[in-house]
Structure 1
Amino acid sequence: MTWQLRRAHAGDLDGIMALEIRLFENDAWSAEGMLRDITDPDCYYLVAVPPDEPDRIEAYAGLLAPRGALEGDIQTIAVTETVRRHGLGGTLVQSLVTEARKRGIREVFLEVRADNPGAQRVYLRLGFEEIGVRRGYYQPDNVDALVMRLAVPPAEAALAAPDPVQPPTDPTDAAEATE
């Protein structure tokens, strides 16, 4: 499966909220809170869409990472049921970590539901470690959150110059994920 990742914008709010409400019915964010984050320069939100349907949002993820801060937080990540287990969630997290690195972030944190072992496995595979528990964090379900942390690895030095025929693209605006 192939998806295009692109930076989320205010026009994506309806599509993001449709997924948010469907996937997180009891603890969904409000549209106002989601819009605030999508448009906040301290946040970085991505959506994943099929290349031939740029308005059909299959997944989204968001990062709070103020420039100059040493810590960032993955605010949310959602992948629609029909495209799970194809690597899209991991690709989104890796893209957020790449942006965090660009902003000077040294550690990224997240909370994951204690009753979501699939997501926990993805985060562990990506190098996150469990560092704590927040009892009853997800309400009204009263489900604990596992707090996880990733030490952001430093950027690797480029070994080759970009191809002069094709200008380098900015991966923060659009990228393709294939799995």
Structure 2
Amino acid sequence: MSALVRPAPVLRPMCVEDVERVMRIEEEIYAFPWTRGNFLDSIRARYHCYLYEVPSALVGYGVMMVAVQEAHLLNLSIASSWQRRGHGRELLAHFIRIAREQGAHTMVLEVRPSNDAASHLYRRAGFRVVGVRPNYYPAEGGREDAILMERPL
């Protein structure tokens, strides 16, 4: 009996040439995706932008900024066909490591109340709810609040 060996995902910095691939996932998984400009601006601002990929596919990506001992996770996304396999947890752990290396003492993020899977991931990783940002996200028929979460590093 032989086992099928699958390559482990690899993390690497995102570059301008990757944005088209990122946008395909962004537009697939979100009703209100980030724009191409959001990603390009993040790369140009030297935020921590990473791809999580296998040789044949882009599994996910994330964007984080670090300033004044605080990391702000701006985007953490996994392609729909790769979800529910632990990749979000691994990508989040990568950003937590980077935040610590950059001297951050806390990490914050916003999540939609309607995004149960992401909320569960963040809670399991030690994030706690610290507030609400009213009318933060665009939504069908108006706006949706953001749940503000924080984790000590």
> What is the TM-score normalised by the length of structure 1?
0.76
- Distance in 1 between the 2:17 and 2:147 partners? 32
- Aligned partner of 2:49 among 21, 45, 51: 45
Q: Any gaps of 5 or more consecutive residues in structure 1?
A: 153-179
For residue 127 of structure 1, report the CA deviation from its aligned partner. Answer: 0.6
- Aligned partner of 2:23 among 10, 14, 17: 17
In the alignment of these two chains, the number of paired residues is 145
Q: Any gaps of 5 or more consecutive residues in structure 2?
A: 1-5
Over the matched positions of the two proteins, sequence identity in percent amounts to 24
Q: What whole-Å deviation, never above 9, does each CA across 1:1-44 have from its counterpart, x for those lacking one? A: 6311111111111011111112123x212211211102322x10
**RMSD of aligned alpha carbons:** 1.4
- Distance in 2 between the 1:59 and 1:79 partners? 4
Q: Which runs of 4+ in 1 moved over 3 A?
A: none
Structure 2 residue identity aligned to 1:106: H
User: Secondary structure of the equivalent of 2:9?
Assistant: strand
Please name the residue that 2:60 is paired with. Answer: 59
- Distance in 2 between the 1:13 and 1:124 partners? 29
Structure 1 segment 1-179 matched on structure 2, within 5 A:
2-25=8-31, 27-41=32-46, 43-50=47-54, 52-53=55-56, 56-66=57-67, 69-141=68-140, 142-152=143-153
For residue 110 of structure 1, report the CA deviation from its aligned partner. Answer: 0.2
For residue 72 of structure 1, report the CA deviation from its aligned partner. Answer: 1.5
- Distance in 2 between the 1:86 and 1:126 partners? 15
